[in-house]
Amino acid sequence: MSYAVIKRWFDILCSGLGLLVLSPVGFLIGLSIKLSDRGPVFYRQIRIGQFGEPFCIWKFRSMVVNSDQMGAQVTKEKDPRITRIGRLLRKTKLDELPQLWNVLVGDMSLVGPRPEVPRYADLYTPEQREILKYKPGITDMASLLFRNEEMILRGAGDVEGFYLRYCLPKKIELNRQYGARATFLQDLRIILQTICPYWVGILGIYFITLTFSFWLSYRLRSDFRASNQDQEEFTHFLPWIVLPQLILLIWQGQLRGLMSYFSIPEMRRTIIALGAALVVQVGLCYPPSGHLVPTRSILLMDFFLSFFMLCGVRMALRVMRERSSPTRTKPLPSVRRVALIGTGELATNLLLDFARSENPARRVVAFFDDDPHTWHRRPHDVPVVGMPECLLNLEWREQIDEVIVTLPAENAARIQEISEMLRGLPLEVTIASGWPVLRVL
């Protein structure tokens, strides 16, 4: 059976089941929209589908009535046209639920390039129009990587111009890459990433690691000859051990960054979270709640095992990332509010060197990178905002003082392009071509 046939049957099954199961949610959303401003529940718009054929796409209305006549077709963060309920719907992507009907009737697929409005599709080059041979979808890799598109556009003076010049070409290129290697397994992976964001994966890894640490504590105490009673205790006490640890790790911001970026600050936050959880657990040892946790020896053993195993997992991921990194440099000492272009080894070394300085004169506030797969992540708790072209937005002129370009030397053409782009801005631009070479533009 061909990929196209499997994909279509999968679309029919999932969209039909989704419309049936999620109909109560849809009813509540529709009721909320109707009660908020008495306007229509649904929003319909003409989009360009497969082979250039127009079709009507359905969404829950998230903007004021006739919003498409009040401004650009794209929206930025805090766009006044977005309703209060619409902000929640857009953030959770629940406004896209009615598109399951488009999937069921065959206008769209679950996974495929997001369809554009006719006026944007008319601007496609002949090469870009190749993506029109694919059926449009509810989600795709570009949607995942541009999921915070409104934040990327928030500082643009000409929102539509910025979108057409910088965002749309990147989306088209990502969709062309998807189409060239599309498989059913790839579609499942994109759907899973859409439903389960990155932080869910981090939470899962932490839960598995903490559960294993607690299990290992019992095995070590019994010299790996645990009795049935030990197994019953492990099952009974597990929620009271792992849940406080997870809650306090979240409190310390351990779900915000990339797992593979790990250093002393992350280690410190980990031990603070686990130490606070240990205090809570020891408090539960005393009557009348002593039955909620195991003996203090198990608690202490679990504390050390959890700490070392969490650090070990993250350090292993860091080593894997560094070994796959194309550039390796030594840390570079340097001097204000800095934006780094690039997220490779040189960029992270710069960030850590600034942070470790006894008298820091530079502080990295943001990363910008050409690779959409790094966007919206927080390596070492510093956000990767988007593409370097975002620096043209007015807001960044007030939030940063210096830009350091940390791209590898083999990207000379892109470095030159970025240099020309930033040359007219009131910012100091520095080219970091390796340690200890920093060259002011």
pLDDT at 409: 80
Do residue 178 and residue 43 come from a single domain? Answer: yes
| 150-160 confidence digits (pLDDT tens) | 777 776 778 88
Do residue 164 and residue 246 come from a single domain? Answer: no
Pick the last residue of a domain from 195, 227, 257: 195
Does 210 reside within a domain?
A: yes
Average pLDDT over residues 28-54: 90
Pick the last residue of a domain from 173, 195, 217: 195
Average pLDDT over residues 327-334: 45
Band of pLDDT at residue 433, cut at 50, 70 and 90: low
Do residue 306 and residue 206 come from a single domain? Answer: yes
Do residue 149 and residue 188 come from a single domain? Answer: yes
pLDDT at 253: 82
Do residue 179 and residue 128 come from a single domain? Answer: yes
Average pLDDT over residues 81-95: 86
Do residue 206 and residue 294 come from a single domain? Answer: yes
Does 147 reside within a domain?
A: yes
Do residue 305 and residue 380 come from a single domain? Answer: no
Does 330 reside within a domain?
A: no
pTM here is: 0.65
Average pLDDT over residues 416-424: 86
Does 162 reside within a domain?
A: yes
Give the chain's mean pLDDT. Answer: 85
pLDDT at 324 over 70: no
pLDDT at 289: 53
Average pLDDT over residues 122-134: 90
DSSP H/E element including 339: strand 337-341
Q: What percent of the chain has pLDDT over 90?
A: 31
Do residue 115 and residue 69 come from a single domain? Answer: yes
Does 329 reside within a domain?
A: no
Average pLDDT over residues 320-332: 58
Stronger pLDDT, 113 or 71, i.e. the higher one: 113
> What is the rounded distance in angstroms from the CA atom of residue 96 to the CA atom of residue 19?
12
Do residue 44 and residue 96 come from a single domain? Answer: yes
Do residue 70 and residue 140 come from a single domain? Answer: yes
Q: Please list, in sequence order, all residues whose beta carbon lies within 8 angstroms of the beta carbon of residue 129, skipping any fewer than 6 positions away.
A: 52
Which residue in the block uniquely carries the two structure tokens 């419309």? 19
Residue 37: CA count within 13 A, CB half-sphere: 15
Q: How many domains does the chain have?
A: 3
Do residue 177 and residue 137 come from a single domain? Answer: yes
Do residue 225 and residue 289 come from a single domain? Answer: yes
Query: Could you list the residue range(s) of the whole structural domain that residue 173 is in?
Result: 3-195
pLDDT at 233: 86
Does 407 reside within a domain?
A: yes
Pick the last residue of a domain from 324, 357, 392: 324
| 267-312 confidence digits (pLDDT tens) | 899 999 999 999 988 887 766 555 677 888 889 999 999 999 999 9
Question: What's the Cα-to-Cα distance from 264 to each of 134, 267, 311, 355, 407, rounded to whole Å?
Answer: 47, 5, 10, 11, 25
